[in-house]
Copies of this chain bind each other. A is one copy, B any other.
C-alpha cells in the first residue's frame, strides 16, 4: 500500500494533469499544491517514477501511469464517499468536509469504504457535485458547462462546484447555489465580467465571471 504522503502526491498529480492542456504536471505547481519545496517534490517524483506510478523524464512533464491513475481514482473515491457521509449523516458543514476528508481518506480500509458506500445508497456524486468513481475506477461525469458561458434567459441546474475554498463554498451555499438548484440566467453584462442569476423562489444573485466559471451547470430542457 502507498503511504499517506504518496497518496497525496498522486492525487495532486491527477488533478494537475486534468487541468493542464498537455495532460502533464510540473514540479513547481505540484510542490505548491502540497506545500513543500520544489526540491522535495523532485525527489518524490523520482521515487514515484521508480515505483512505476508516474512517467517522468528530467526537465520535462510528469504523467501518471495506469497504476498511478488507479490509485488516484481510489483515493478520490474514498475522499468523496467520506465527504458525502460527513454531510449527509453527521451534518457537517459542506464547506468544512474537504479538509476533514483529506485526512480520513488515508485511513479507511476497502471493507469500511464499501460498507459506508452501501450505507449511503451508493451515491454517484459528493456534496459538491464531484463524481464518485465506482470501486472499479469508472467515473461518469455529467455533461455540463461553466455558468460563465451561459446566455441570458437560459434555465439551468447546478451540477458541480469546482472549488474547495471554504469562503467560496460558504458564499455559494448562502446564495442558494448548491448542486441541484435550478435557476434562470437573468442578465449577462456586456463586458462579460459578471452575470445575474435567480434561483426558483430566491433572490437574484450577481456573480463575477471568475465565480461563475467555477460553477458547472446543465441546461434544463
Residues of A within 8 A of B (CB): 86, 89-92, 96, 100, 103-104, 106-109, 111-112, 115-116, 119
18 A-B contacts, Cβ less than 8 Å apart?
A: A86-B112, A89-B119, A90-B112, A90-B115, A92-B111, A92-B115, A96-B111, A100-B109, A100-B111, A100-B112, A103-B107, A103-B109, A104-B104, A104-B107, A104-B108, A104-B112, A106-B107, A107-B107
Please, which residues of chain B bring their CB within 8 A of the CB of A106? 107
Number of copies of this protein chain within its complex? 2
Please, which residues of chain B bring their CB within 8 A of the CB of A109? 100, 103
Closest to A103 in B: B107
A-B pairs, 3 with minimum CB distance? A107-B107, A90-B115, A103-B107
Write the nearest CB–CB distance from A3 to chain B, whole angstroms: 12
Could you tell me if A119 and B107 are in contact, using CB atoms closer than 8 angstroms? Answer: no
Given contacts A90-B119, A92-B112, could you give 4 more A-B pairs where the C-beta distance is less than 8 Å?
A: A92-B111, A92-B115, A104-B104, A107-B107
Please, which residues of chain B bring their CB within 8 A of the CB of A100? 109, 111-112
**With A and B bound together, what is the CA distance between A115 and B97 in angstroms?**
13
Please, which residues of chain B bring their CB within 8 A of the CB of A116? 90
**With A and B bound together, what is the CA distance between A106 and B106 in angstroms?**
11
**With A and B bound together, what is the CA distance between A115 and B112 in angstroms?**
18
Could you tell me if A91 and B115 are in contact, using CB atoms closer than 8 angstroms? Answer: yes
**With A and B bound together, what is the CA distance between A104 and B82 in angstroms?**
13
Please, which residues of chain B bring their CB within 8 A of the CB of A108? 104
Please, which residues of chain B bring their CB within 8 A of the CB of A112? 86, 90, 92, 100, 104
Interface hub of A91, A107, A119 (most chain B Cβ within 10 A): A107
Please, which residues of chain B bring their CB within 8 A of the CB of A119? 89-90
Closest to A104 in B: B107
**With A and B bound together, what is the CA distance between A108 and B103 in angstroms?**
8
**With A and B bound together, what is the CA distance between A202 and B65 in angstroms?**
57
Write the nearest CB–CB distance from A110 to chain B, whole angstroms: 11
**With A and B bound together, what is the CA distance between A41 and B104 in angstroms?**
28
